[in-house]
Structure 1
Amino acid sequence: MAAAEVWLLPDFPPGRYADRLARAAALASGALRALAAEPRSPFESPERLMTASEELRMSRVPDDERPTSASARDRALCQGASYMRHLLAQTWQMTQEARDTPGARDPAASRLLHASATACHGVALGLSGRGPAPSDAPYTAAAADFKAHRVRPQMRGANSAAVVHGGAIALDIANTGALLVTAVRIALGAPVPVPADATSSADRPGPFWYAGRSSLSLYARRLRAHLTPRSVYFQNSVRIALALAAARLVVGVLDLSHGLWALLATITVMRTSAAGTRTALWPAFGGTLAGAAVAAVMLYSVGGHVAVYAVVLAPLYLLAFSAGPVLGMGWGQAFSAIAAVAAFAQLAPTGPGVAAVRFTDIVIGGVTGALVGLLAWPQGGTGELRRACSRLLDQGTRAVTEIIDTITGAGTAGDALARARLAEVIAEASYVQYATERGAPDTEHPAGTDFQAIMLAGDRAIAMGQTLIEHCLPGALAAWPDTAAHLRDAANHLRLTALSLTYDLRSGKPRPAPVEPADQTVPTDHAVIADVCAASGGRAPDPLLYYAVDAAIWLASLQRVVTAVRPATEGRRAAPG
């Protein structure tokens, strides 16, 4: 059977996740190249960036192609997809703003965008197998040149604010691209800088803590992580053991013949959540009932002619294995019931009553499995993931407000960033568990809660927050009170948005994201850049003010990501990311 599966009747490959990531990188490369062109030629279809971002969500990927194993390759692919989604979101943002301010592009920023486009092209070639592993060399020099250049020019001209804003986003794209290249190199098994995780020992684990570790150690770490009652694998083991024990007890008490089918039915209908079990229960019952009826007619008609059962057995099992994936579980159960009866009819004399016995066993096993699934951890991986993601949002946005308060002189740094890192580790493990569940969609989130976006928001909050803490001394931005006030307001707004979402995640009762009324309020990033231009007085501003610009871009991107996590209301379209 294995040889036939590989060489004789191979299945059509569903497509690798790496190919999806390669297509997204190629699309981003084209968009960035268009934005960097002189004279600028806008990207013709920004909607494709949104589509490519959505295609990287795990819910859009076939079960067998989801990068959810403990290997460094799968970890890197999953992490690279998060970076790619942020890069696509920022590129989409630039295409939208380029239409409003055509021609406003700093040459150094254009060179940075062009270098990032070249790096994304290398990512696409490497992942698709048409080229070597990508390198961050194309834009390492361009990023250094841009950082040195943007503090020198004088703030003059009507487009100064647009130039500063576009340059800040271009730098964010380049920094994200550097992380993307590192993740892709790990996925392709190419050498990475040593150590790949440059995070200080006090701030670890960093984003690439797994680089260079053996597969055995990574799988051992994954196994240790599941030795807890909070693990969905642990919960499923207990649930199945309880269900099988209960089914065996019922079979023994009722003295049922062919009681093995009750145990098989229990395993067949059980899923990682009560909703998934309930969905599988009725097709199993209906298909078994139909198959039992046909099998009763077959036994009555054929009687003891064993040769007939031997002839029809192979075609029946062929239908049983092929009908389920194509027509649904009920058809597979129906043909399996008929095939099983044909198999047992060759071993011992039997009559039409065996079909009724099998149906009785299936009902007992299915009901037992459904009851245990309802009583023991009924939410499956979704429940654990909601709790972990709500904790990550809470701790991540708490760290954001603490960091902004620290650099603006309104508070002091505490341990919020360390708690956010711990929450990220737990959320990552829960997300991997959730992504491995087969055929168990989150029915309580019909519009599809974007858990990957929550992981991205947490990673962005921690990474950029660490950068600001390292480069901005406490109170560094206090000399510019208007700018500091704008940053604190944006951080508090992000915190309030996240708190509302965390409540929805914990309660399991999602609400559509409200459509905020259009008003004349200037977005925080634009307000901060206007403050920077005004504070410069036509001269080169204080270099510290550019960290205020980077912080404003950071807060704006986090706000878009967190707002887009919740299912959108009708007619409302969220930005990718």
Structure 2
Amino acid sequence: MRDVVARWVCPAAYVASGRRAVRVSVVAATGFYVFRYGLDRPVAATYALFAAIALGGLSRIPGTGRQRAAVLLRAVPLSWVLVVIGTYLSVRTWSAAVGMLVVGFALAFSAVGGPRAAGTAPGLQLLYILPSFPPYDPASLGDRLVGTSTGLVLLVAAEALLLAEPRPPAYEERAAGAARAAERCARHLAAPPYALTGADRAAGREAGQALRPLHVPEAERPAGPGRRERALAHTGLATRTLLSRLAGLGTGRGEADPAVTAVLRAVADLAEATAGSLLSGPSPRASYEALVAARAHLSAVSAGPYRGSAVRNIAPAVLRGHAAVLEVADAALAMGVAADLAVRGRRAEVPVPPGRFWYATTWAPLLWWHRIRGHAGRRSVFFQNAVRIALALTAARLVAGVDTLPHGFWAMLATLTLTRTTLDETWHTIRLALTGTLAGALLTAGTLTLAGTDTRVYAVLLPVWMLIAFTVGPVRGVGWAQGLFTVLVALVFAQLAPPTWHLAEVRLLDVLVGSMIGAVFGVLAWPRGAHDELRYAVAELLRRAAEIVVATSASAARGTEAVPSSGAPAGHRSLHRSVILAESAYAQYQSEPVRFGGRARAVPPAVDWQATLMAGHHTLWGAQRLLEPPIAELGPVAAEVLAGAGERVAGRMLLVSAALDPGGDTPNASVPAIDGSFAEFAAEPPDAPRLYYAAVSWLESLTTDLTRIGSGVSDGT
């Protein structure tokens, strides 16, 4: 009961939707009235109104008004193309259906471009649907384009100028804050007592959490395929890794080690320079080169092949410490490179190593092609969603064309807005929508009966009702939205043609037809949404990771280089693609409510999916780092222990993979509890160089990820 009351009285939600409602209502009413009553051009009036509703009401473009205005401005030429194609293909049912299939898929699949592209796609779908229905009049194309252009231009101006919202911190600012937290931690570790305080650890955890996608507003997430977005995402991941590695050093070293202290000071300087660079400061190149030099010195102190019974007489505990500090340095160097790339692009001053930063010199269209190709398969949730909505819209267009469904546009609009990624959520949405539409139809019938053909009544009511509909609908949910929109479209069409109460009946019929088509394709096309795909993707990710773990451990044990000239270890590309598919499936999975008896309930996850994603990233980064030349030679005992540890960790990965794989032998098995205390991790072979301890540290971090997977709780590292 309290939840219901909270939803009704929550002021923040109504303020946000009210801002959007004012902008959409002002633009839609202005364009409609100017063309309908001022210029007597009803076609242009219709397109001006629906252009504003499509891109301002139906679309959910994240960001502030100015950010949305920029997105809308870039969408204007595409809107013209969609109106032109829709107009000419609508003359025949078969051509309209084929066009709907192709255009519907392309627009839905454009969600691979990030949150802004995904938010714009539904509005663009509506702009293509609108000219696909009667009157089939290519001669009116001029009025259609004029109305569309007017509505979009007015909407761009309204988004930029009316009721501006405060902008949340940009991702660069969040990353800069995390880099400053890393700088403070590194400085504390470089000075007596060489340890972190509880406050330092808490600040580091908080800064790392602020970079998790779940805690970043959609408009600020670096999710696009471009160089800047990839580099920003890389910056965030490297900074979170740096904070985690620094926290692992926070137990205190007891006494100063000049080489280690020099590295930590250089890490702190680079973190400070990176933070400044992200906030439009100078390039961190000087600090980057200083850390490279300090790291090389520390590496030279403790590196080297096996020489008899000891490695330069350095104690194993010291070698472990050096390996951990070098991991910190590697994370800091990756952060500096990625940040410079994100800010300066091709003009980056920090030297860009190959492998991790393959996108640094890649042409922008090729980056888009990489993203599209990575999701062009049935295991991608973006591909599944695009197929589902394209087939549903095509079927709705065929039904409307073959059966001459009155106002078939409304049926397609219902298909577009009510189809969800899971069957349960689609049925739940349809029930609410039909209830709301029925209530709206009854109110519409009464209004049309009382007002009759007096268009002045509808002209007065329209802007007021739009303001109510676009304020209340997004807050109260799909039932209210459909009911309010039913009345709204009746008020619009009552001013375009003589109205009767049958208009409400037709609206209800169209929503019923459109929702049933959506439900049918919800049954036929991946009805469980991202649930199964996330399990498939994570199972495949862990299988690929296990292969890399075995290969990397064996190569390190033999002292052989396994990194080809491309800078990527064997299997790197396959694992990278698995990580991408798993991340997209996880993002959609988070947006799909779990339902019991038709009610959504928040339930704790049985699997910590974030830990599986981090296991993939840690595998990629660790394998690449360990096998970069020169590679030290391990003695026979250390080689045997390392190879065995790698096989045991890989075996645990395969166990978890088998439990998660819905197509495996035990699809419903729970994730096995993983014991992270392997004897190999504590072993100190007398013939082990620092490379051995670096490899063991990497395997131990992967085991930690595996132990978290079944816990359902993530610490965000």
TM-score (ref. length: structure 2): 0.67
| CA distance in 2 between partners of 1:461 and 1:404 (Å) | 11
Residue 450 (structure 1) shift: 5.8
CA contact (8 A) 1:409 1:478 kept: no
Q: What one-letter code is carried by the residue in structure 2 that aligns with 1:146?
A: L
Q: Which residue is equivalent to 1:42?
A: 196
Overall identity of the aligned pairs, in %: 33
Distance 1:44 1:279, change over 3 A: farther
Q: What one-letter code is carried by the residue in structure 2 that aligns with 1:461?
A: T
Q: What one-letter code is carried by the residue in structure 2 that aligns with 1:38?
A: P
Q: Which residue is equivalent to 2:605?
A: 447
CA contact (8 A) 1:104 1:162 kept: no
Distance 1:513 1:389, change over 3 A: closer
| Alpha-carbon displacement from aligned partner over 1:86-143 (angstroms, at most 9, x marks no partner) | 2222222223xx0xx56255332222122212222222232244x2343313412221
Q: Which residue is equivalent to 1:423?
A: 574
| RMSD (Å) for aligned C-alpha atoms | 3.7
Distance 1:185 1:378, change over 3 A: farther
Q: Which residue is equivalent to 2:352?
A: 196
Q: Which residue is equivalent to 1:203?
A: none
| CA distance in 1 between partners of 2:473 and 2:706 (Å) | 39
Q: Does 1:132 align with 2:132?
A: no
User: What is the count of residue pairs matched by the alignment?
Assistant: 540
Structure 1 gap ranges (5+): 199-205, 536-541
SS of the equivalent of 2:591 reads coil
Q: Which residue is equivalent to 1:184?
A: 339
Distance 1:120 1:285, change over 3 A: farther
Q: What one-letter code is carried by the residue in structure 2 that aligns with 1:502?
A: S
Match of 1:77 among 219, 224, 232: 232
Q: Which residue is equivalent to 1:498?
A: 653
Distance 1:108 1:174, change over 3 A: same
Q: What one-letter code is carried by the residue in structure 1 that aligns with 2:267?
A: S
Equivalence map 1:211-226=2 (5 Å): 211-226=360-375
| Alpha-carbon displacement from aligned partner over 1:259-296 (angstroms, at most 9, x marks no partner) | 22111100112244445544543443343333333323
Equivalence map 1:446-525=2 (5 Å): 447=605, 453-471=611-629, 476-479=633-636, 481=637, 483-507=638-662, 524-525=680-681
Q: What one-letter code is carried by the residue in structure 2 that aligns with 1:122?
A: A
CA contact (8 A) 1:272 1:380 kept: yes
SS of the equivalent of 2:254 reads coil
Q: Which residue is equivalent to 1:568?
A: 711
Q: Which residue is equivalent to 2:112?
A: none
CA contact (8 A) 1:276 1:439 kept: no
| CA distance in 2 between partners of 1:218 and 1:263 (Å) | 34
Match of 1:399 among 537, 540, 548: 548
Q: What one-letter code is carried by the residue in structure 2 that aligns with 1:21?
A: A
Distance 1:108 1:324, change over 3 A: farther
Distance 1:233 1:467, change over 3 A: closer
| CA distance in 1 between partners of 2:218 and 2:430 (Å) | 21
SS of the equivalent of 1:507 reads coil
| CA distance in 1 between partners of 2:562 and 2:302 (Å) | 29
| CA distance in 1 between partners of 2:561 and 2:283 (Å) | 43
CA contact (8 A) 1:309 1:345 kept: yes
Q: Does 1:62 align with 2:217?
A: yes
| Alpha-carbon displacement from aligned partner over 1:445-500 (angstroms, at most 9, x marks no partner) | 953866565454334334433444454779x4243x2x445434432332233123
CA contact (8 A) 1:322 1:332 kept: no
Match of 2:506 among 326, 335, 357: 357
CA contact (8 A) 2:541 2:616 kept: yes
Residue 308 (structure 1) shift: 1.6
Distance 1:473 1:208, change over 3 A: closer
Q: What one-letter code is carried by the residue in structure 2 that aligns with 1:141?
A: A
Q: What one-letter code is carried by the residue in structure 1 that aligns with 2:282?
A: P
| CA distance in 2 between partners of 1:3 and 1:68 (Å) | 27
Q: Which residue is equivalent to 1:270?
A: 419
Q: What one-letter code is carried by the residue in structure 2 that aligns with 1:427?
A: S
| CA distance in 2 between partners of 1:561 and 1:248 (Å) | 49
Residue 6 (structure 1) shift: 0.8
Q: What one-letter code is carried by the residue in structure 1 that aligns with 2:188?
A: A
Q: Which residue is equivalent to 1:110?
A: 261
| CA distance in 1 between partners of 2:659 and 2:172 (Å) | 33
CA contact (8 A) 2:674 2:706 kept: no
SS of the equivalent of 1:20 reads helix
| CA distance in 1 between partners of 2:312 and 2:263 (Å) | 20
Q: What one-letter code is carried by the residue in structure 2 that aligns with 1:77?
A: L
Residue 82 (structure 1) shift: 2.3
Match of 1:23 among 163, 177, 197: 177
| CA distance in 2 between partners of 1:54 and 1:381 (Å) | 24
| CA distance in 1 between partners of 2:673 and 2:378 (Å) | 39
| CA distance in 2 between partners of 1:196 and 1:412 (Å) | 21
Residue 12 (structure 1) shift: 3.3
| CA distance in 2 between partners of 1:425 and 1:154 (Å) | 38
Q: What one-letter code is carried by the residue in structure 2 that aligns with 1:144?
A: A
Q: Does 1:141 align with 2:314?
A: no
Q: Which residue is equivalent to 2:92?
A: none
Q: Which residue is equivalent to 2:167?
A: 13
Select between 427-436 and 279-288 the one with higher mean Cα deviation: 427-436
Q: Which residue is equivalent to 1:122?
A: 273
Distance 1:74 1:344, change over 3 A: same
Distance 1:282 1:484, change over 3 A: farther
Distance 1:120 1:324, change over 3 A: farther
Equivalence map 1:317-332=2 (5 Å): 317-332=466-481
Q: Does 1:166 align with 2:326?
A: no
| CA distance in 2 between partners of 1:350 and 1:394 (Å) | 63
Distance 1:108 1:469, change over 3 A: closer
Distance 1:505 1:55, change over 3 A: farther
Q: Which residue is equivalent to 2:42?
A: none
CA contact (8 A) 1:271 1:440 kept: no
Select between 446-455 and 236-245 the one with higher mean Cα deviation: 446-455
Distance 1:79 1:448, change over 3 A: farther
CA contact (8 A) 2:579 2:616 kept: no
Residue 340 (structure 1) shift: 0.9
| CA distance in 2 between partners of 1:34 and 1:410 (Å) | 36
Residue 310 (structure 1) shift: 0.8
| CA distance in 2 between partners of 1:524 and 1:84 (Å) | 29
Q: Which residue is equivalent to 1:548?
A: 692
Distance 1:492 1:50, change over 3 A: farther
Residue 372 (structure 1) shift: 0.3
CA contact (8 A) 2:209 2:716 kept: yes
| Alpha-carbon displacement from aligned partner over 1:367-387 (angstroms, at most 9, x marks no partner) | 211220221133556655543
Residue 244 (structure 1) shift: 2.0
Distance 1:12 1:448, change over 3 A: farther
Residue 181 (structure 1) shift: 1.3
Select between 400-409 and 364-373 the one with higher mean Cα deviation: 400-409
| CA distance in 2 between partners of 1:122 and 1:429 (Å) | 30
Q: Which residue is equivalent to 1:201?
A: none
| Alpha-carbon displacement from aligned partner over 1:23-48 (angstroms, at most 9, x marks no partner) | 22222222222222223352323244
SS of the equivalent of 1:40 reads coil
CA contact (8 A) 1:26 1:121 kept: yes
Q: Which residue is equivalent to 1:538?
A: none
CA contact (8 A) 2:642 2:680 kept: yes
Distance 1:164 1:438, change over 3 A: closer
Select between 82-91 and 225-234 the one with higher mean Cα deviation: 225-234
